[in-house]
Structure 1
Amino acid sequence: MATLEYDKRRALVTPDRLRHLFGARRLAVVGASGTSSWARNLVRSLNAAGGLKELVFVHPKYPELFGQATAPNLRDLEDPVDLAFLMVGPSRVDEILEDAAAAGIRNAVVLAAGYGETGQDGRARQLALAEHARRLDVTVMGPNTVGFINATAGIAPWAVVTERPPLKGAVSAVFESGSMARAAHEFAQGHGVGASLWASVGNSAVLTSLDVLEYLLEDESTRAIALFLESVGEPDRLLALGRRALERDKPIVAFKAGRTEAGQRSAMAHTGAVATDDAVVDAVFRQAGIVRAESLEELVSTAGLFGHYPERPKGRRMGVVTSSGGGCNIIADLAAVNGLDLPEWTGDTVEALAEHLPPFASILNPLDTTGFGHARARPRPTKAEDDLMEIAVKDGGIDFMFTMMTPLPSSRPEDPTFIESRLEILGQIVRDAPVPVYLASNTCLDLADYPRGLLTAAGLHLMPGADLALKSMGHLMRWVDLRASVLADDPPARVTADRGSGPAPTGTWAEDEGRDLLAAHGVPMVPAALVTDRRDAARLVTEWGGPVAMKICSREIAHKSDIGGVVLGVDSPPAAEAAFDRVVAAAATHAPRAAVRGVLVSPMRAGGLEMLVGVTRDPTFGPVLAVGLGGVWVEVFKDVSLRVLPVSPRTVREMLLELKAAPLLRGVRGMAPVDLDALTEAIMAVSRAALALGDRLETLEVNPLRVDGAAVEGLDALVVTGARS
């Protein structure tokens, strides 16, 4: 992404500057023509939103556009407008920005493509545009953007088709794709998800998604934020803004395009094979307290849930009342998949429900109201699911209520008394309920204007279909847990690299060098000695009184076992001398140019659990810590937890307990439980060693790290560094 560094553009993207940009009520459109679909869409959007005070067209060739006189140049305007919307090609953008600055206009939206998305030349052109804007003190949105909709203010400089006036609401969204911004906005409109701000930042030459995010954290109209990201820049800033959002109780839901394993790290390290780009993004979002959605629809549905329901459930226990037995089955399956619990109703609730159901009814959770319930006469204009939900919602064993509503009429019936009275009563039931109540439609069909108006008037929000609704509920509960976890921990302090003064290896370190680095930072390592004589190896077997491992030691030999450079279980002096000769010969045969430092001898260890602790440098996020089962198991199961460094001990413990192998750490089938404090401290020490390498770090890995009760020891180490920058 060809974007100016934050320090260079900071003054252009402060929340105060963006408040003026997104609140612009006087607009100049530069370079439009009467035949341009972009221009027609823009005019239609502005008119539909209804909040613009002044619209001026600027064009040197056309004296009139869209029924009004034009100005030949921005400099010819009597008073500066709040925003210039540039509909010119890239060759004229710089010139128009100069006109804007000369006319006192400080905000511009640039529609033109042909910049960073076109390759190296385009990226250079985009950076030049950003520098030009900085010198002119003009905040630029784009290029390659379709604009934004500020539904709260009734302002919509939005150059794509809009079918209706924008719905006002508490959800704001930031998109790094114009077409996806349009599609998601249409989906939101179709399902009653009202918005405050909907913005497409385009190529982000000056204004980025994180700049808009920071602005939205101060926006009183925004209760929840949706992000569509094509890349994740400024990870430190994202983590800081994520924490601030949690502190302000403004949930962030993100969709990250481009799930891929193309970002695998160094092939010589297990850590790199599991710390793919997408897995690291997951870790960053988790650390920032951001919920990750898997589709556009899920993004909108989840943000809509957060935006329309400010009250959070206190737990995962869900009560369900619906009018369909099949719906009960679907909901039960979706609840299990999304980590939601379905407790049995309490005895009092069962007794109260039984009074309104036939003897053959099964009073379960989820509750099917049965056809009998629909056939009964009611003293008020409600349906069976409304009345039974009103009873069940008082159950003391649930944290929230969910109901899948029967379809609402798509248009106003001849006699609207029943449906309009029913929705009014349902709204009151929801408001009076002791726990949050969430409603969903059966399927993900657009809401027509009539039922949407009824729901809005009753203060109700209908989530789009059971599948999206329950996924959104699962995200809600994950966010509640994330928020508690992140805010319970102080942000970890950044660690300054130990630059040192002496020479240090570049490339793969010999194992003894890596062991020395780890030991210096407090990592417990199994004892080891580097020997250059077969007799010294024999002596160590006698001194240590048990079998030893013997490994060739060379910077040029990373995979020692692949060439026969490792011998295990050496239990006598003669065997030690033979093993010495064997590994040295293997190195001479398979790596004749390798500079052999000697043979590393260390005592064998039996029992315990083998863990992997590794750190690799991600090109975007920097050092990434991976923790999981070690040895060959990391390749088989890939049961690994990731976080971006630095981390706190609390986070490390959280990483350990989220592993699928966590029961092994707690002790199963006679195994002693692992001392999590000792293991956590060892992992923290590995992290310190990695961070001490600074920007030279490529890979640092302890695999295996043996854990046996309170005993923690590294058995093998790999360190790879690059040149000092």
Structure 2
Amino acid sequence: MTDTDVMPTRSLVSPGRIRDFFSPRSVAIVGASETSSWGINLMRSLELGGGAPQLEFVHPKYPELFGRRTVPTLRELDKPVDLAFVMVGPNRVGQILEDAAAAGIRNAVTLAAGYTEAGEEGRELQDALRRQAEDLDITLMGPNTIGFINATLGIAPWAVASHRAPIPGAVSAVFESGSMCRAAYEYTQAHAIGISHWVSLGNSAVMNTLDVLEYLIDEPSTRSIALFLETVRDPERFIPLAHRALAADKPVVVYKAGRSEEGMRAAMAHTGAMATNDAVVDSAFRQAGIVRVESLEELVATAGLLGHTRRRPVGRRMGVVTSSGGGCNVIADLAHREGLSLPPWSEPIVADLQVHLPPFAHTLNPLDTTGFGHARARPRPTKAEDDLMEIAVREPGIDFMFTMMTPLPSERPADPAFIESRMAIIGDIVKASPVPVFLASNTNLDVTDYARKLLHDNDLHLLPGVDLALRSIGYMLTWCDRRTSILDRGPISERIDPPGVVGPAGTWDEWEGRQLLQHGRIPVVPARLVTTAEDAVAAAAELGDTVVLKVCSADIPHKSDVGGVALGLSGAAEVADGYRRVTANAAVRVPGASVRGVLVSPMRPAAPELLVGVTVDPTFGPVLTVAFGGIWVETLKDSSLRVLPVSRPEIRDMLFELKGITMLTGGRGAAAADLDAVIDAINDIAAAAVSLGPDLVAFEVNPLRVGAAGPEALDVLIVTEER
């Protein structure tokens, strides 16, 4: 599903208007029939919602629907209505909106398809629909939507099959795909995940994802926000909203389609949007504190965990108690995948655990309770593993407890006393625990109505399956770490100086690029520009014993590929010969190239080399890349990305994300580099690139040599827009 590129009038989708949209006290259903599954499903959902909004029915043919009187048009309603749910084809939607406005209705859901997803003609139809909604002052959801659920108020104008009432809770979700929205909602039902708002936006002619996100950040029942995105639009608005959510302690979890090239093509075909490099999306989300997940199940499970968890762990040290030895092995493997540690139990805890364990049991973490433990006497019956968990949560060396539950009963047993007692005791342990406790089922099985009641009555949240549970916990901990880091850093002050150097349109030659580096106070290797072999010899004598010669031409950006570089030249004869060689190679390999001359620079000894580059992403704008390798950068593939602007601490993080960082920190006996100076140089390179403004295409310093005397740019390539 898609949205148009033209932004609607913002007043139609202000947080106040969105709040009213999702809180209708009355709904007019236009065009439903008793034989259409859409109409039947909508009625069923509204009944299951429980909020009982006043319903009015509008149909020109039928005097009665679902046992209620109808009127032919919205204009003939004798009561005010808050929301129109429009279930007619695209050729009739315009007239329905005119009638709605005449009846004083300011909110509408439009089910009809056949708009932007249907090609250019459909796009024009949707543009007209958007303009009409603006002219009529109607906040419109859709077209091509299945509706929404506000579980907090029990209101569910939702046109797909529902079999259970929504579970009120803390997760709100916004989807740019109706089928994914429906599937995710069914997953919440299957796994007893409570929701606040569940929204299918359809084609977003008027109301879009960011409008709803802005509303949800301040919506009091929402504690986590899940988004399914087909593309990222309007990052200038999205990223600040993500920062607002972060400051409000509301995690934003995103499942974005289009990671692979095939996925990007599919998303582009579906949305008409320009694709963006997926690594850039990852970086932008990470910088904004957005959790990016890999599947619909992860989206719902992670948002569910974050929404339910009021106490979050302060670290990654996990204690585990479970009645399965095999489960202990699986949990240990998955914990390693998520970067979780399993510290040993302290001696006092071991002593207490052994009281309830058989002699053959091992007091390890994860703890296998063996199924043969001894439960202590309680007023209510329980299992030994619950006593063991109650002891283990007191371990001072853990940050949270994890347990794999035995399967809950699928239906109420003839005598429910034991299971209900046990669940109450587990609920008490979780509430009293000094650390957060996370419960998981052993597999991703559906939660039955009876099991759901057991969980609800004891305020327990059951994660769906061990694998998904630990992955969700990993996402949560990463979000916690990232939130602290981002909020501690505060706002970024970006230095952007005017270029100070007027360059050409298109590719700059290296001499021109050097002028911009020097203007930006970026250390650059000394160089002389010469146009004869004799001048090259003189420059070499001035600069040192051993020099490098490089042909200087905007038409030859990759000089070494054409033999335009000569290294390690000493003495007049070598330098003169080198000059003739690089100029001859350029003339033969790139006939007609405009050559400014030859650059002569001192030959530097071997040292770690970085690539520092800025490119322009079509969605997010300037992106900084830092990589190891110099000429080997494509082979090593050791790089880190950030969307600009970035802070100095963020640049430091980029360096430490590189696998080769030990080359700069003194690994294997090498001298440690002045990292502050390296960070300064990277920051200044980014500022120089951004100073070119909208003309920037690419800006690359490769290599930035990191020697004992500090960083030094040895080469630069700049490309600006052709004018």
The aligned counterpart of 1:578 is 577
The aligned counterpart of 1:167 is 167
The aligned counterpart of 1:719 is 718
The answer as to whether partners of 2:18 and 2:215 remain within 8 angstroms in 1 is yes
Secondary structure of 1:55's match?
strand
- Tell me which amino acid in the other structure corresponds to 2:348: D
The alignment status of 1:49 with 2:49, answered yes or no, reads yes
Q: 1:517 to 1:371 in 2, by over 3 A?
A: same
The aligned counterpart of 1:665 is 664
The aligned counterpart of 2:415 is 415
Secondary structure of 1:249's match?
coil
Secondary structure of 1:70's match?
strand
Q: Which moved more, 1:90-99 or 1:120-129?
A: 120-129
Q: How does 1:198-209 map to 2 (within 5 A)?
A: 198-209=198-209
Q: How does 1:513-662 map to 2 (within 5 A)?
A: 513-662=512-661
Task: Please give the alpha-carbon distance, in whole angstroms, between the structure 1 residues aligned to 2:599 and 2:263.
Answer: 33
Q: 1:385 to 1:632 in 2, by over 3 A?
A: farther
Q: 1:18 to 1:327 in 2, by over 3 A?
A: same
The answer as to whether partners of 1:262 and 1:276 remain within 8 angstroms in 2 is no
Q: 1:276 to 1:99 in 2, by over 3 A?
A: closer
- Tell me which amino acid in the other structure corresponds to 1:364: L
The answer as to whether partners of 2:666 and 2:672 remain within 8 angstroms in 1 is yes
Task: Please give the alpha-carbon distance, in whole angstroms, between the structure 1 residues aligned to 2:125 and 2:495.
Answer: 36
Q: 1:168 to 1:707 in 2, by over 3 A?
A: same
Task: Please give the alpha-carbon distance, in whole angstroms, between the structure 2 residues aligned to 1:579 and 1:252.
Answer: 58
Q: 1:36 to 1:710 in 2, by over 3 A?
A: farther
The answer as to whether partners of 1:142 and 1:206 remain within 8 angstroms in 2 is yes
Task: Please give the alpha-carbon distance, in whole angstroms, between the structure 2 residues aligned to 1:546 and 1:191.
Answer: 74
Q: 1:399 to 1:524 in 2, by over 3 A?
A: same
Q: Deviations over 1:607-629 (max 9, x none)?
A: 32111111110111100111121
Task: Please give the alpha-carbon distance, in whole angstroms, between the structure 1 residues aligned to 2:592 and 2:607.
Answer: 38
Q: How does 1:487-498 map to 2 (within 5 A)?
A: 487-493=487-493, 498=498
Q: Deviations over 1:392-443 (max 9, x none)?
A: 1001100110000111111111111100011111100111111111100000
Task: Please give the alpha-carbon distance, in whole angstroms, between the structure 2 residues aligned to 1:527 and 1:355.
Answer: 75
The answer as to whether partners of 2:356 and 2:374 remain within 8 angstroms in 1 is no
Q: Which moved more, 1:665-674 or 1:609-618?
A: 665-674
Q: 1:54 to 1:710 in 2, by over 3 A?
A: farther
> Structure 2 unaligned runs (5+)?
265-274
Secondary structure of 1:408's match?
coil
Q: Deviations over 1:367-415 (max 9, x none)?
A: 0001321799877411122110000100110011000011111111111
The aligned counterpart of 1:294 is 294
Q: How many equivalent pairs are there?
A: 712
The aligned counterpart of 1:350 is 350
- Tell me which amino acid in the other structure corresponds to 1:76: E
The aligned counterpart of 1:28 is 28
Q: How does 1:464-503 map to 2 (within 5 A)?
A: 464-493=464-493, 498=498
- Percent identity (aligned): 61
The aligned counterpart of 2:270 is none
The aligned counterpart of 1:370 is 370
- Tell me which amino acid in the other structure corresponds to 1:259: R
The aligned counterpart of 1:396 is 396
The aligned counterpart of 1:62 is 62
- Tell me which amino acid in the other structure corresponds to 2:670: M
Secondary structure of 2:579's match?
helix
The answer as to whether partners of 1:261 and 1:278 remain within 8 angstroms in 2 is no
- Tell me which amino acid in the other structure corresponds to 1:612: L
Task: Please give the alpha-carbon distance, in whole angstroms, between the structure 1 residues aligned to 2:114 and 2:522.
Answer: 52
Task: Please give the alpha-carbon distance, in whole angstroms, between the structure 2 residues aligned to 1:461 and 1:706.
Answer: 53
Q: 1:714 to 1:325 in 2, by over 3 A?
A: same
- Tell me which amino acid in the other structure corresponds to 2:537: A
Task: Please give the alpha-carbon distance, in whole angstroms, between the structure 2 residues aligned to 1:571 and 1:421.
Answer: 88
Deviation at 1:56, TM superposition (A): 1.4
Deviation at 1:41, TM superposition (A): 1.0
- Tell me which amino acid in the other structure corresponds to 2:130: A
Secondary structure of 1:628's match?
strand
Secondary structure of 1:370's match?
coil
Secondary structure of 1:425's match?
helix
The aligned counterpart of 2:452 is 452
Q: Deviations over 1:224-246 (max 9, x none)?
A: 11111111111122221111111
Task: Please give the alpha-carbon distance, in whole angstroms, between the structure 2 residues aligned to 1:411 and 1:2.
Answer: 45
The answer as to whether partners of 2:497 and 2:687 remain within 8 angstroms in 1 is no
- Tell me which amino acid in the other structure corresponds to 2:658: L
The answer as to whether partners of 1:4 and 1:206 remain within 8 angstroms in 2 is no
- Tell me which amino acid in the other structure corresponds to 1:102: A
Q: Deviations over 1:66-89 (max 9, x none)?
A: 222222221222233111111122
- Tell me which amino acid in the other structure corresponds to 2:477: M
Q: 1:554 to 1:252 in 2, by over 3 A?
A: same
Q: 1:482 to 1:144 in 2, by over 3 A?
A: same
Secondary structure of 2:669's match?
coil
Q: Which moved more, 1:584-593 or 1:372-381?
A: 372-381
- Tell me which amino acid in the other structure corresponds to 1:559: H
The aligned counterpart of 2:324 is 324
The aligned counterpart of 1:683 is 682
Q: How does 1:113-512 map to 2 (within 5 A)?
A: 113-261=113-261, 277-373=277-373, 380-493=380-493, 498=498, 504-512=503-511
Aligned-residue RMSD, C-alpha: 1.9
Task: Please give the alpha-carbon distance, in whole angstroms, between the structure 1 residues aligned to 2:494 and 2:142.
Answer: 33
- Tell me which amino acid in the other structure corresponds to 1:398: I
The answer as to whether partners of 2:624 and 2:644 remain within 8 angstroms in 1 is yes
Deviation at 1:470, TM superposition (A): 0.3
The answer as to whether partners of 1:4 and 1:127 remain within 8 angstroms in 2 is no
The answer as to whether partners of 1:4 and 1:205 remain within 8 angstroms in 2 is no
The answer as to whether partners of 1:2 and 1:124 remain within 8 angstroms in 2 is no
Q: 1:499 to 1:84 in 2, by over 3 A?
A: farther
Task: Please give the alpha-carbon distance, in whole angstroms, between the structure 2 residues aligned to 1:668 and 1:295.
Answer: 39
The answer as to whether partners of 1:497 and 1:693 remain within 8 angstroms in 2 is no
- Tell me which amino acid in the other structure corresponds to 2:641: L
Task: Please give the alpha-carbon distance, in whole angstroms, between the structure 2 residues aligned to 1:614 and 1:55.
Answer: 60
Task: Please give the alpha-carbon distance, in whole angstroms, between the structure 1 residues aligned to 2:65 and 2:295.
Answer: 40
- Tell me which amino acid in the other structure corresponds to 1:592: P
The answer as to whether partners of 1:4 and 1:131 remain within 8 angstroms in 2 is no
Task: Please give the alpha-carbon distance, in whole angstroms, between the structure 2 residues aligned to 1:64 and 1:593.
Answer: 82
The answer as to whether partners of 1:4 and 1:130 remain within 8 angstroms in 2 is no
The answer as to whether partners of 2:226 and 2:253 remain within 8 angstroms in 1 is yes
Task: Please give the alpha-carbon distance, in whole angstroms, between the structure 2 residues aligned to 1:386 and 1:375.
Answer: 8
Q: Deviations over 1:284-335 (max 9, x none)?
A: 1101101111111111111111111111111111000000000000000000
- Tell me which amino acid in the other structure corresponds to 2:434: P
Q: 1:633 to 1:595 in 2, by over 3 A?
A: closer
Secondary structure of 1:355's match?
helix
The aligned counterpart of 2:696 is 697
Q: Could you tell me the TM-score, scaled by structure 1's length?
A: 0.95
Deviation at 1:251, TM superposition (A): 0.9
Q: Which moved more, 1:29-38 or 1:698-707?
A: 29-38
The answer as to whether partners of 2:147 and 2:201 remain within 8 angstroms in 1 is yes
Secondary structure of 2:704's match?
strand
Q: Deviations over 1:623-669 (max 9, x none)?
A: 01111213244312322111111111121112112222233322101
Secondary structure of 1:681's match?
helix
Secondary structure of 1:426's match?
helix
Q: Deviations over 1:561-592 (max 9, x none)?
A: 12111111122221111111112112211222
Q: 1:263 to 1:442 in 2, by over 3 A?
A: closer
Q: Could you tell me the TM-score, scaled by structure 2's length?
A: 0.95
- Tell me which amino acid in the other structure corresponds to 1:510: D
> Structure 1 unaligned runs (5+)?
265-274
Q: Which moved more, 1:372-381 or 1:405-414?
A: 372-381
Secondary structure of 2:556's match?
coil
Secondary structure of 2:706's match?
strand
- Tell me which amino acid in the other structure corresponds to 1:545: G
The answer as to whether partners of 1:552 and 1:599 remain within 8 angstroms in 2 is yes
Q: Deviations over 1:155-189 (max 9, x none)?
A: 11111111111111011111111000000110111
The answer as to whether partners of 1:564 and 1:586 remain within 8 angstroms in 2 is yes
